[in-house]
Structures are given as C-alpha cells and as structure tokens.
Amino acid sequence: MNFIRLLNDIKLRRKLSLTFITVAVVPLLISGIFLTGKLREIMIADAFEQATDNVERVRKRTEEVIKVPLDISYQLSNDSRMKSVASRSYDSYIEVIQTYRQYSDIRDYIRLYKEVKGIRLYTPNPTMLNNWEFMQPDNQIEQAEWYKLALSKKGLAGWGYIEDERDRTKYLSLVRKINLNEPGQDSVLVINVNTAQLNSILSQESFSTMIVDDHNNIVAANRPDLYGKNLAEVHSGDGILQQSEGSFDADIDGKRSKVVISSLVPETSWNGLRVISVFTVSDIVQDANEVIRLATLVIAGSLIIAVLLVYASASLITSRLLRLSKHMSRVGTGSGHWDTYLDLDGKDEIGQLSRQFNALVQRISQLMLEVEESNQQKRRLEQKQSEIKFKMLASQINPHFLFNTLESIRMEAHLRGEEDLAEAVWQLSSLIRNSLEVGNGKIRLSEELNMARCYLELQKFRYEDRLLYKLDIAQGTEDIELPPLMIQPLVENSIIHGLDHKEEGSTRITIRTKLGEDGEVCVEIQDDGAGIPAWKLEELQQQLKEQESEEAGGRIGLRNVHDRLQLTYGHASGLSIDSKEGEGTRITFCIPRGNEIECLQ
C-alpha cells in the first residue's frame, strides 16, 4: 500500500519515465542478447529460402514467356497458307512480292505478342526473295548445329542462343522443322524471344540470377556484365556447369556460396533452359554483422532519446487535451464557427481525435456548400429546360386553332391531289404538337427521333433531292430516356451550316445510335455538307467550354444542348464536334444509362 501511495504521489512526467525504463529497457536487453545470436543463422536460412522461391518464380514466368513462341510455332506448323507461300514456285519477283504482301500472319504475330522479337522461315526455294520472314538458307546456316538438329528432330522444338542476320544480335530462339507441301522442301522455323521480356523478369531479383541454355550460354541476366557470356567464363565450378536441378554449396571465385538451379524443359522440346541463382555467404553474414552493430547503436541511442521524449510527452498530453476541449466547446456552442481548425501534431490517440474533429467540421461545412450548389444547379437545369421550350415557340398561338387550321390545309391539299403538300403539312403539325407538349421531364429516345424525322421530312419537302437522310438506330437504344429537344437542334445545325452553305450537290444527314463499351448510349449526327473551317471550329469548341449563357433572343443552338447535357449527366456528356471544311461535320454525345445526376460534382 505504501508503494502504491508513493507511485500515486509521483508526477506524471516522472511516472511515465520510470515505467518506460522498467517495462521496456530490461526486456529489450534480454531479447537483444538472444536475438543477436540467432540473427546470423536466420538471415542465411532466409536468404537461401528466398533464392529458392525466386528461382521457382523466375522459372514459371520464363515458362509463360516462351510458351508464346511455342504456341505460335504450333500454329505456323499447321498453317497451310504459309506452307503454300514457302513451297510455291514463282515465275517473277513481282509475283513473290504480291504473295508476301497478301500473307501478313507473321507480321501480325510480331505485332500482337510482345514476347516475340522476330520470326523467320528458312526455306530452300530458289524462286523466293529474302524479306527477313522467308529466307534462303546459305551454307553457313545449313552447317549450323541448330539447323541440323532442327531437321533431324522430326518436328520437336529446340531452344538455342542464335544470331539474327537482320541486326547481328543473338537471341534465345525457338527452332523447329516445318514439313511443307512438297517432299524434300522441309523448312526450319526460327522464333526469337524478346530479350527485354526475359531481363525484366530478372530485374527485380536481389541475388545474381541468370537464364542459360543447354550450352551454358547466358541468354538473360539481372547483371548486364553477364548477358551474352558463357557460364564457364563466369563460374568455373563443375556443379554449376553440369547440374540441372537442385541446390548446393560451392566455392565460386574463392568465396563460399549457395547455388540454386531449376530446370525448364518446355513440352515437345528436345532441350531446355536452366535458371541459376547465386549468392555468397560472406555477403549475407556481412550484412547480418552490420545490422547487429547498427542495431546496438540505434537501440542505445533510442533508449536515451526515449527517456527524454517520455518525460517531455507527459507535458504535451495535458496541454493538447485542453486545446482539443476548447475547440470542441467553440463548435458546440452552435454559433456557426465552421472555419475552426485544430492544429495538433502526432499520430497518437489525441492526434487522431484532432484529425477526426477537423474532418467532421470540414465535412459539415462541405455538405452545406453542396446543398447550396445542388439547389443552384437544379434552378439552372429548370431554366435551361424552360428556355428551350420558349425558344421553340417564340409566340404562343392557341393550339386548337393552330392544329385545326393545319388539318384543314392538309385535307384541302389531299382533296386536290397534292399528296406531298399534305404530307408536309402533317409533318409540320406533328412537329409543332410535340414541341408544345415538351415539359421539364425526360422523353424516350424514340420520341426524340420521331421529332427529328418530322423536321427532316419538312426540310426534304423544301430542298427535295438536295437533302438525303438516314436513321441508323441500334437495337436496345430507343427506350432510353433523355431531356427533350436534344437531336432536332443538331439536325437543324447540319442543314443550316452544312446544306445551305454547300454550293452544289446533295447533302446526306445520318442520325446514328450505338451502345458504348461501358453501357452508355452514344448519339451521332453526321453530314457531308460544307463543314466548318478550322479556325471557326476551334472558336466554337472554346465557346462550349466557357461557362456562359447564350444571348437573349437567340435561336436554339449547340450551346443550349451542350449545357443541358452537362447539367443532366455531368461534364463528360457534353457535345463533341469534329469537322473538316468541304467534307462535313460530325456531332456526338453519350448518355450514361442509369447514371443521371442532379448537379455537377
């Protein structure tokens, strides 16, 4: 009881310091003495285990890379078109060039697969030309060991370090005999593996790691000075030169080392590769000793600093708690101090509480601003919807009187046999009726397209053969809903600026819808009219980017459609305009299905 009373009487600063020394220093000294004895042994074992895992990982990733040329060789060995090109007897060089131009499979493989650097087929056909894909084997090639082995292995794949005649660079290459259509015309297929792909596999390895072929040629390594050499030039031990699998101790360059080897023999291959990783024990032990010395210094220094920091931190705790309480009281009074910011450093519980307090105050302030901005955006959208409705009908006419009059004109034209005129009056009546019924809500895309079709028919009545149009509507897009009067203003723009400004000839307007990759519906209005000059197109696109409204009294234009799309679906759904003077104009916009927003984020 006296001891507890004595502890309670000690000030917090001294109490924390004594507690730290008693609880932390003594166990740390005992643990340090034990762990330093085991550290050397553990680091060596971990390094060996890491090397084994790394070799296995490199082997698997290398197998994935060389599987690509192996699969390509299977496909080419069964490619009747390639066999026909290689075995055919040509009458002229022009015929050879035309045949090469038509057969592009080899070029396509090189372009599509980054694991492949080059593909060539050696064919003894004197009527062919060498184009680095189909080549005549010279005496040097025919006497090469890999060429003879490929012809003798009856279709099995082989792997060797072979020089490419094009860039005089050696690559790990697959070689394989290809039986052509004509007897006695057997060819040899050579596929170069991309060395950069192999080196990238090894680049992240911490130990010296390399890939060698069955002649001990180093075809890839994580050390640039090893690449291209023979393993015998670097390491002279018999074990590393001859052993194909496993791990063992070896003396390399006078140093005791660990060697891990894994064999890789792809299926249907007569030879394979080896993945070799080497690390010296002295390097691992040296690191361990350095860690022990550094740890001793760090621990000693840390203990001294820690005692001082514990004593000082006790003074900071009470002051920080008082500051936190003061700011919480200031916000809790409800006087609107949302700009309050509490600056308390540290990652402890007090610092975490201060950051959460700041985040809470900031979030509340942000929500208030978002609510205000959302209301403003709603008002802007409603204003744009009303604006387009009023611009469609600048003067309000009694709808019943207007429709009755138009119907009388249509019937009179029908009775007089003026069917074209009657059809035009009916299209006008439908267009005006749909315009009068436009509200602030959304309509189906099919209804919007019907309004555009009526408008085009009216314009076709005016321009006759000068105006052609086509609707290319993708299945499944007609039921999507969108704000009204989105397409008709764009069609009107194509007629006014595309057809009217075109001096002669007809103009075709195409309205096209399609489903995008992300499920959105894309609408495209394209014409082959006069087009837009580059300077004017740049000016128009700049105007669409600026947050400005159209002048009062102006007609329904691109700006209104662009603004309503962005207000409804976000900035990414605005108009995209592409035009060339004399060739035509294309305007597109995309509507995200089910992702409409109430305001811009």
Q: Tokens 């910011």 sit at which residue?
A: 341
Residue type for position 11: K
Give the whole-angstrom CA distance, residue 485 versus residue 442: 10
Angle at 310 between CA 308 and CA 312, to 5 degrees: 70
382 CA to centre of own chain: 37
Where does 255-280 have alpha helices with state H? none
Do residues 188 and 195 lie in contact, with contact meaning Cβ atoms separated by under 8 Å?
Answer: no
Mean pLDDT in runs of 10 for the chain (601 residues)? 72 68 74 71 76 87 91 90 86 88 90 92 87 88 90 88 89 90 78 90 84 88 82 72 77 76 89 86 69 77 76 69 69 60 67 74 74 74 64 48 58 66 68 62 86 84 86 89 88 86 85 86 92 89 71 57 85 88 91 58 37
HEC per residue, 312-366: HHHHHHHHHHHHHHHHHHHHHCCCCCCCCCCCCCCCCHHHHHHHHHHHHHHHHHH
| Token pair of 348 as six digits | 């402890």
CB atoms within 10 A of CB 155: 14
Give the whole-angstrom CA distance, residue 498 versus residue 478: 27
| Beta carbons within 8 Å of 189's beta carbon, 6+ residues apart | 73, 76, 77, 119, 120, 121, 122, 174, 175, 176, 177, 178
- In angstroms, how far is the first alpha carbon of the chain from the final one? 64
Q: Which of 485, 448, 454 is nearest to 469 (CA)?
A: 454
Do residues 525 and 587 lie in contact, with contact meaning Cβ atoms separated by under 8 Å?
Answer: yes
Give the whole-angstrom CA distance, residue 307 versus residue 301: 10
3-state secondary structure of 524: strand
Do residues 513 and 475 lie in contact, with contact meaning Cβ atoms separated by under 8 Å?
Answer: no
The CA distances from residue 139 to 146, 147, 192, 426, in Å, are 13, 11, 21, 85
Q: Tokens 């920080």 sit at which residue?
A: 320
In the chain, what are the domain boundaries? 1-300
Do residues 151 and 177 lie in contact, with contact meaning Cβ atoms separated by under 8 Å?
Answer: yes
Looking at the DSSP bridge assignments, the partners of residue 481 are 444
What pLDDT is stored for residue 292 in this prediction? 73
Q: Which of 206, 205, 196, 250 is nearest to 227 (CA)?
A: 196
Q: Which of 196, 195, 186 is nearest to 219 (CA)?
A: 195
What pLDDT is stored for residue 306 in this prediction? 72
Polymer length of the chain: 601
Give the whole-angstrom CA distance, residue 546 versus residue 569: 18
Contacts 24+ apart (CB under 8 A), 460-463: 461/420, 461/421, 461/423, 461/424, 461/427, 463/495, 463/499
What pLDDT is stored for residue 68 in this prediction? 93
Torsion of CA 547, 549, 551, 554, to 10 degrees: 120
| Beta carbons within 8 Å of 11's beta carbon, 6+ residues apart | 314
Where does 78-87 have alpha helices with state H? 80-87
**Helix (H), strand (E) counts: the chain:** 19, 17
- DSSP code for 198: H
The CA distances from residue 225 to 178, 279, 280, 533, 536, in Å, are 36, 16, 18, 58, 59
| Beta carbons within 8 Å of 191's beta carbon, 6+ residues apart | 69, 72, 73, 116, 118, 119, 173, 174
Give the whole-angstrom CA distance, residue 321 versus residue 327: 10
| Token pair of 461 as six digits | 């009545």
CA atoms within 13 A on the CB side of 387: 20
